[in-house]
Amino acid sequence: MTTKPIRLGIDVGGTNTDAVLMSGTQLLASHKSFTSEDVRSGVITCVRELLAQSSITASQIKAIMIGTTQLVIAFVLRILLERVCVIRAAAPKTDGIPPLAGWPADLRDWLAEGHIVSGGSFYDGNEYAELDVEDIARIAKQQSMDGIRSFAISASFAPVRPDMEKRAGDAVKSVVPDAKITLSSEVGDIGLLDRENAAIINASLANLSQGVVASLQDAFAAMSIDAPVLFSQYEG
């Protein structure tokens, strides 16, 4: 009998779903099955097999660790991605390298449209231009008429002055109440382009990620597993 907390680990890949039950470093059970289109049923199949192998009950599972390549695959294969409106508050600076510069042409042309509006701050947090909330609202309204609901907002040195991006997000919400907004200051570091690109990727995956997470939560609820769900980050 194991005395250490039991953890459930699941890797939802593009082809297979792998799952293990662990107690400390002890492997209690493992199983591999095909990843189902809805994610949920494939996970349920795996976990039920683990419980049957180990005689562990669902109530004994104290933590769930999830890893998935679903979002990476979607981006690589250009499937299930949301169109994104990119709004950069940085004019009159940064126009030498516009949003989406260097992106693959097929992805750039279909996925997103970039705009640069007045706003931004220096590295010390002092503003060099006032944020043009009216222009942001105009752009958001126009983009919403084309069916876009995902917005990626960036600003120069936003980690120092996150309030500028938040105000820009409020301007978008004022005309597109159901907008899904990613602020670059919440997903990246000081460098504008890397941070902006991370926000664009995040915004394009917003709907898919919500669907994957909901499917996983539904699967655990269906098996009466009540434990914290942790998503792992891959650096490789």
For residue 104, how many C-alpha atoms fall within 13 Å in the half-sphere facing its CB? 8
Predicted local distance difference test score (pLDDT) of residue 1: 53
Predicted local distance difference test score (pLDDT) of residue 235: 58
φ, ψ for residue 235, nearest 5 deg: -105, 0
Predicted local distance difference test score (pLDDT) of residue 109: 85
Q: What domains lie within the chain, and their CATH numbers?
A: 6-74+209-231 (3.30.420.40), 82-204 (3.40.50)
Predicted local distance difference test score (pLDDT) of residue 135: 98
- Provide the whole-model pTM: 0.83
What's the CA gap between 74 and 26, in Å, rounded?
A: 34
Single-letter residue type at 127: E
Q: Which residues contact 102 (CB under 8 A, 6 or more apart)?
A: none
Residue with tokens 């809805």: 38
Residue with tokens 């709907």: 207
Determine the length of the chain: 236
What's the CA gap between 207 and 147, in Å, rounded?
A: 14
Predicted local distance difference test score (pLDDT) of residue 128: 96
Per-residue pLDDT of the chain (236 residues), as tens digits, is 556 899 999 999 888 999 999 999 999 999 998 888 888 898 999 999 999 999 899 999 999 999 888 888 888 888 889 999 999 999 999 999 999 999 999 988 888 889 999 999 999 999 999 999 999 999 999 999 999 999 999 999 999 999 999 999 999 999 999 999 999 999 999 999 999 999 999 999 988 888 888 888 999 999 999 999 998 866 55
Q: Name the pairing type of β-strands 16-23 and 6-12.
A: antiparallel
Predicted local distance difference test score (pLDDT) of residue 234: 63
